[in-house]
Amino acid sequence: MKRQAIVEAGVFVLLAAAGVAVRLNFQFIPNFAPVAALALFAGYFFHSRLAAIALPLSVMAITDLVIGAYHPAMMAVVYGALVMPVLFRTPLRRGFRLAKTDGAGSWANSATATLGLVGCSLAASVFFFVVTNFAHWIVYDMYDKTAAGLMQCFVAAIPFFRYTLAGDMTFAAVLFGSYAIAAQFRSVSVAKESAV
């Protein structure tokens, strides 16, 4: 097995375990979860699109076994909405690169990278909010099936959106920040080895 495949398999297992632990331990805060951020990072990090998609789905499937299932159509929508951030892999790979400068890692363009990451996280949060609340309005009978009922559904969900947004931004910052720090340490150690 190639070294890259071994590294990616280890990272997959580590991220899945961390995602499960965090989602279970923070379930008392509604919608504050690492899953969309994991999907965003998985799309960026893994060479295989299948592995990137499998990561958030694995975390959701394992944690839903503990937390409990809900309406199958709603689960399908939630799972699909949480996989969507994987699709941001191309813009993230273009904007969120590490450049080598005199042996130490630095952001190729830190302002662009930060704005790109924030923009992708925000887009994932908004997409999740719109899609899941629209599905909630369709699947459940809590609101009238009218434009006014749909608006009521969205307005009632706004307090939950702040937790979604906070979770997506927090966990994306932790994941990408940790990756940048690890890459910088690796770059410095490689530079020291080659200088010897």
User: Domain containing 129 — which CATH number?
Assistant: 1.10.1760
Q: What is the pLDDT of residue 107?
A: 46
Which position has the token pair 């969507």? 84
Ranges 4-8, 104-108, 126-130, 158-162: which has the least confidence: 104-108
Average pLDDT over residues 99-128: 73
∠ CA 31-70-19, rounded to 5°: 45
Backbone angles phi, psi at 52, to 5 degrees: -65, -40
Q: pLDDT value at position 194?
A: 61
Element (H, E) at 98: strand 98-101
Of all residues in the chain, the percent with pLDDT exceeding 90 is: 70
User: What is the tally of structural domains in the chain?
Assistant: 1
Q: Provide the pLDDT for residue 116.
A: 84
pTM of the entire predicted model: 0.86
For residue 192, the model assigns a pLDDT of: 60
Inform me whether the pLDDT recorded for 150 exceeds 80.
yes
**Band of the pLDDT at 101, cuts 50, 70, 90?**
very low
How many other C-beta atoms can be found within 10 angstroms of the C-beta atom of residue 76? 11
Q: How sure is the predictor about 93, in pLDDT bands with cuts at 50, 70 and 90?
A: confident
Residue range 48-92, pLDDT digits in tens: 999 999 999 999 999 999 999 899 999 999 999 999 999 999 888
The band of 104, judged by pLDDT with boundaries at 50, 70 and 90, is very low
> The domain containing residue 73 runs over which residues?
3-195
pLDDT digits (tens, 9 = 90+) for 153-169: 999 999 999 999 999 99
Phi-psi category of residue 102: left, alpha or beta, with phi > 0 → left and psi -120 to 50 → alpha: left
Residue 27 burial (10 A CB sphere; 0-12, 13-18, 19+): middle
- Among 132, 60, 120, 66, which residue's Cα sits nearest to residue 90? 120
